[in-house]
């Protein structure tokens, strides 16, 4: 069965745009009771937009590189075919720059994701690329129908490390480079403690590198993608 004959993928619904900043006023007890934090009526500003960072905070935007990440979901597999693909139902990923990550869902669908391109692309193109990649990894899935495909942006940094800090009074925590499920939870706690008057651990007080001439459009991504794809082939 060719991929062209699969069902039309779901491409998702765009969420309403919200500002990257939000001003809140904290009025908390400072009487020393358990769980209290210092009293403050100062505005608190934070930015969490990560791969969707825009020009609202230019100093942050020019340090974040939005890169697409995409996933396909197949039709439910038979128990035998699912077992032959991932015998212990583990979550898997490889070590390439254009990496793959995949697992079985509770109803035995193969969820197979990856970075189809460092340059802008479409859901349909990414779906075709991921389908071919999935068959290279698991040839026994040839002919399986892809029922859903979707994607979004992840925020990369130039040193490939997440960053937390403050710029012009704005607290930011972003740049997880694809590890946001775990790291955003941890950084969220760090940011909350810091905003409430705590100290940011020394290990995260690091320079946030940028790239000269990079402002809004990551013009360098096609060349970078070619370079990393070449490395993957070595």
Mean pLDDT of the region 74-88: 96
Beta strands 110-114 and 100-104 are: antiparallel
Distance (Å, rounded) from C-alpha 189 to C-alpha 156? 21
Percent of the chain with pLDDT over 90: 47
Q: How confident is the model at residue 48 (pLDDT cuts 50, 70, 90)?
A: low
Distance (Å, rounded) from C-alpha 143 to C-alpha 200? 52
Q: Which residues make Cβ contacts (< 8 Å) with residue 4, sequence separation at least 6?
A: none
The per-residue pLDDT of the chain, averaged, comes to 80
H/E stretch holding 129: helix 123-137
Residue length of the chain: 234
Q: What integer pLDDT is reported at residue 78 of this predicted model? A: 96
Structure tokens at 196: 């409430």
Mean pLDDT of the region 139-165: 94
pTM score of the predicted model: 0.72
Residue 51 above 90 pLDDT?
no
Mean pLDDT of the region 9-35: 39
**The CATH fold of domain 1-8+43-207+217-225:** D-Amino Acid Oxidase; Chain A, domain 2 (3.30.9)
HSE of 47 in the Cβ direction (CA atoms, 13 Å)? 27
Cα angle 42-48-49, degrees, rounded to a multiple of 5:
135
- φ and ψ at 9, to 5 degrees? -75, 155
Distance (Å, rounded) from C-alpha 112 to C-alpha 74? 8
H/E stretch holding 228: helix 221-233
Widest Cα–Cα separation across the chain: 69
Residue 97 above 70 pLDDT?
yes
């Amino acid at each position: 069965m060719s991929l062209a004959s699969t069902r039309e993928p779901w491409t998702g619904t765009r969420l309403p745009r919200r500002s990257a900043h939000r001003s809140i006023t904290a009025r908390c007890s400072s009487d020393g009771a358990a769980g209290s934090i210092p009293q403050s009526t100062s505005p608190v500003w934070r930015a969490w937009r990560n791969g969707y960072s825009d020009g609202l905070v230019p100093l942050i935007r020019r340090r974040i590189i939005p890169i697409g990440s995409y996933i396909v979901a197949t039709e439910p597999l038979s128990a035998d075919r699912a077992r032959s693909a991932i015998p212990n139902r583990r979550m898997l990923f490889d070590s390439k720059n254009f990496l793959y990550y995949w697992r079985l869902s509770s109803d035995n669908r193969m969820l197979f994701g990856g970075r189809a391109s460092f340059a802008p692309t479409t859901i349909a193109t990414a779906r075709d690329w991921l389908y071919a990649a999935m068959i290279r990894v698991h040839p026994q899935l040839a002919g399986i129908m892809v029922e859903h495909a979707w994607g979004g942006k992840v925020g990369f940094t130039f040193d490939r490390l997440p960053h937390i800090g403050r710029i012009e009074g704005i607290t930011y925590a972003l740049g997880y480079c694809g590890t946001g499920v775990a790291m955003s939870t941890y950084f969220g706690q760090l940011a909350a403690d810091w905003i409430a008057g705590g100290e940011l651990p020394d290990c995260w007080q690091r320079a946030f590198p940028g790239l000269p001439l990079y402002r809004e459009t990551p013009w360098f991504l096609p060349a970078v993608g070619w370079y990393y794809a070449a490395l993957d082939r070595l």
